[in-house]
Amino acid sequence: MLSHTLTTALEGYAIGPKVRALRTARQLGLVQLGRHSGLSPALLSKIERGQLFPTLPTLLRIALVFGVGLEHFFARDRARPIAAVVRKDERIRLPERAGKRVPAYRFESLDYPVTDRKLNGYYVEVEAEETSSEPHRHAGAELAYVLSGELVINIAGEDYALHKGDSIYFDCSHSHSYRRRGHARCAAVVVVTA
């Protein structure tokens, strides 16, 4: 149990409302955020309503879904930098979904921990041959550019096969999933509007 002093100090950061603002800006429900973060909708609801302060690992799971750094929840308003460099060896590598035994793909954020981004860039390696990722949808638009191999993206029930050098733009409010075709390594850069 937290002391009154600690509770008051944590309330000043408004972590719950910041989580809710990120979620509603992306037009995600609590269940959808739960699927992406590996956290229960009930836990997320308690965090958003200020009934529970998340641990740093829990908050980091939420931050990674939205492509923000932990400082987003603790920093006061400040000017956005002109440029930010993210070094290859500093990127965090994550599976398609937390807790999934064999993920269809793994991704690395190309712009984490930049805060308040207008888009999110990812380097994606599609690992399992002919195994689709879980279908998902979210607000915004998505652009994928294939670096190697053959990537198949299913959008609203239709397959789009892409080879090295191909790209696709689509409205990601439609259900979509990814899979690798063939034995060759498959990698892509995916950009999603925030």
Q: According to the model, what pLDDT value does residue 7 have?
A: 82
Closest CA to 173 of 142, 128, 147, 138: 138
Neighbours of 46 (CB within 10 A): 15
94-193 to CATH, choices 2.60.40.1180, 2.160.10.10, 2.60.120.10, 1.10.3720.10: 2.60.120.10
Q: Which residue has the tokens 């860039």?
A: 121
Q: Where are the domains of the chain?
A: 4-74, 94-193
**pLDDT in single tens digits along all 194 residues of the chain:** 677 777 877 888 889 989 998 998 888 899 999 988 999 999 999 999 989 999 999 999 999 888 888 888 887 655 556 777 888 888 877 777 766 667 778 888 888 777 667 888 999 998 767 677 888 888 889 999 999 999 999 999 999 999 999 999 999 899 998 989 988 889 999 999 86
Q: According to the model, what pLDDT value does residue 80 have?
A: 59
H-helix segments, the chain:
4-11, 15-25, 30-37, 41-48, 56-66, 71-74
Are the CB atoms for 142 and 189 separated by under 8 Å? no
Q: According to the model, what pLDDT value does residue 104 have?
A: 77
CATH of region 4-74: 1.10.260.40
* pTM of structure: 0.63
